[in-house]
Amino acid sequence: MKSRLLFFLMFTIGLSCSIYGQLNDYKYIIVPKKFDSYKVQNKHQTSTTIKHLFNQRGYKAVYDDALPEDLRKNRCLGLLVNLEDTSSLFSTKTTLVLRDCQSIEIFRTVEGKSKIKEFRPAYTDALKKSFVSFDTLQYKYIPKEEVKEVERPITVSFKNDVKSLDEKPKEPMVVQEATTENQSFKSMEPVPSSMKKADVVAEPINSDLLYAQPIENGYQLVDSTPKVRLKLMETSVENVFLVSHGDKNGVVFKKDDKWFFEYTENGEKVLKELNVKF
């Protein structure tokens, strides 16, 4: 019996340390002012309560419409909170889920339950019980160390460098400068074109990576700000979605392991490649 108890304690400590290490990689907790479960902002004061409970435990909780500058530039510095509301007629039930910038689940709390009949105090009570999951974690943000590139020696060869006096100097094919002050490399060689004749040429809609977040009946694609760029609605065909993109309507589909956005503009068909992370 003692050995089993000791094993359970060691397992619990190890699990807590693992989660503790994961959360320490993130500087911010992003709290939506309107959760997916609700149609209005801050329903039952859930957003303000969650932000307060995180800040109370030493986390830097911010609203999704008021991100600090470093978080706007690098969305992966924060974890996004999602509130799962599984309340029934007789009890209020809440669970918090933390996801990273790629929508990968990093942490999930226990389910908090409350029997209070009034909505606002019931949700406050249930959320406090969910936050018990954070009470054993001693959170402290630890920035990841930047990997420094190792300086490599430059080898210069003067082999076959003697030229005839009558020989005219040619344009250098490579211009290179490698000093302490300047590090540059420029190739003057012509680059063969990779363009092929086709009816439609696919161009990236944006070089930034877009992250697919599940919504009702489909996905929304957000960038690192995070800003919703496209909304994809499911169809009966696998990997084919209906899209609304500003004043453009079209389809997003997968072909040869790549995603494309096809729509009509000024009477012509436009095909753009998307850089999407599901």
What per-residue confidence (pLDDT) applies to 243?
84
> What is the span of the domain harbouring residue 56?
15-134
Does position 173 have pLDDT exceeding 60, yes or no? no
Nearest-angstrom CA–CA distance, 123 and 116: 9
Q: Which of 86, 103, 134 lies at the terminal end of a domain, its last residue?
A: 134
Phi and psi (nearest 5°) for 211?
-110, 130
Contact 124, 45 (CB under 8 A): yes
Domain contains 37 = yes
Domain contains 168 = no
Domain contains 182 = no
Could you read off the pLDDT of 125-158 as tens digits, one per residue?
999 999 999 988 888 898 876 444 445 555 555 5
Domain contains 253 = yes
Q: Which of 99, 119, 134 lies at the terminal end of a domain, its last residue?
A: 134
Domain total in the chain: 2
Please report which confidence band the pLDDT of residue 34 belongs to, taking 50, 70 and 90 as the band edges. very high
Contact 222, 277 (CB under 8 A): no
Smallest CA-to-CA distance from 222 within 234, 233, 213, 235 is with 213
Domain contains 190 = no
Q: Which of 113, 134, 155 lies at the terminal end of a domain, its last residue?
A: 134
Could you read off the pLDDT of 201-222 as tens digits, one per residue?
444 555 578 888 888 888 888 8
Exposure string of 71-85, with b = 16+ CB inside 10 Å and e = fewer, is: beeebebbbbbbbbb
Could you read off the pLDDT of 87-126 as tens digits, one per residue?
998 899 999 999 999 999 999 999 999 999 999 999 999 9
